[in-house]
């Protein structure tokens, strides 16, 4: 079984904001694979289904971004999963241009409060993650205002394509493994940046 956690903030006012990329990718996976909603548990909206022949739980934490790790840890504990091999976290990244995605096996929080909280709750930073680019904040902008803002219609087009790519990447990780997905999405044509 695999946990797929998409990070974001609950509530209408946060829909389609830069900080809700994880929610948007999980919604895409739910639609594609017709994953039934199981309701609310472990501080999240969640569903159970099958992707690529594998049982999955998809979740959107309802804790707000900064406490995402509380919900993730509850799922990991309840289902006795190994976060280092049985979890994929999807979230926004201001260090990537809109439309880019990047896959990692592990890494620091890089200033992302949702990831910071997951690392603190799980006691490891070794977990698979898919980062969806939202672009750097403009000079003089407050970071919170920027990530809670929405994309221009032109940006939205490339971001919608990136949401599709990120959902494809989840499928590839499940079917072919993390290395295959990293080779495919982090390589040619997409700007490569090692951490």
CATH number at residue 105: 3.40.50.1470
| Residues noted as catalytic | 19
In a domain, 119, yes or no: yes
Domain of 141, in residue numbers = 2-185
Q: How many domains does the chain have?
A: 1
In a domain, 160, yes or no: yes
In a domain, 118, yes or no: yes
User: For residue 60, what are the CA distances in angstroms to 11, 24, 36, 71, 141?
Assistant: 12, 10, 14, 9, 27
- What is the chain's Cα-based Rg? 15
User: Which of 56, 66, 49 has its CA nearest to residue 7?
Assistant: 66
In a domain, 190, yes or no: no
pTM of the entire structure? 0.94
Task: List pLDDT tens digits, range 141-189.
Answer: 999 999 999 999 999 999 999 999 999 999 999 999 999 999 999 974 4
117 is in an annotated binding site: no
Q: Give pairs for 137-142: CB < 8 Å, separation 24+.
A: 137/94
Q: Give the separation between CA 90 and CA 125, rounded to whole angstroms.
A: 14
In a domain, 194, yes or no: no
Q: Give the separation between CA 99 and CA 21, rounded to whole angstroms.
A: 11
64 is in an annotated binding site: yes
Position 194 scores a pLDDT of 39
């Amino acid at each position: 079984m695999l946990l797929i956690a998409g990070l974001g903030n609950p509530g209408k006012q946060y829909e389609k904001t830069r900080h809700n990329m994880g929610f948007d990718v999980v919604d895409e996976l739910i639609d594609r694979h017709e994953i039934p909603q199981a309701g609310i548990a472990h501080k999240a909206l969640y569903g159970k289904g099958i992707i690529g022949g594998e049982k999955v739980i998809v979740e959107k934490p309802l804790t707000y971004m900064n406490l995402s790790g509380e919900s993730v840890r509850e799922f990991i504990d309840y289902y006795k999963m190994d976060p280092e091999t049985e979890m994929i976290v999807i979230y926004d990244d201001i260090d990537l241009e809109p439309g880019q995605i990047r896959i990692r096996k592990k890494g620091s929080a890089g200033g992302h409060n949702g990831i910071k909280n997951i690392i603190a709750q799980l006691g490891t930073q070794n977990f698979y993650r898919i980062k969806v680019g939202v672009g750097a904040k403009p000079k003089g902008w407050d970071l919170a205002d920027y990530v809670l803002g929405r994309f221009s219609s032109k940006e939205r087009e490339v971001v919608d394509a990136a949401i599709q790519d990120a959902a494809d990447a989840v499928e590839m990780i499940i079917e072919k493994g993390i290395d295959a997905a990293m080779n495919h999405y982090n390589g040619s044509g997409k700007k490569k940046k090692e951490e």
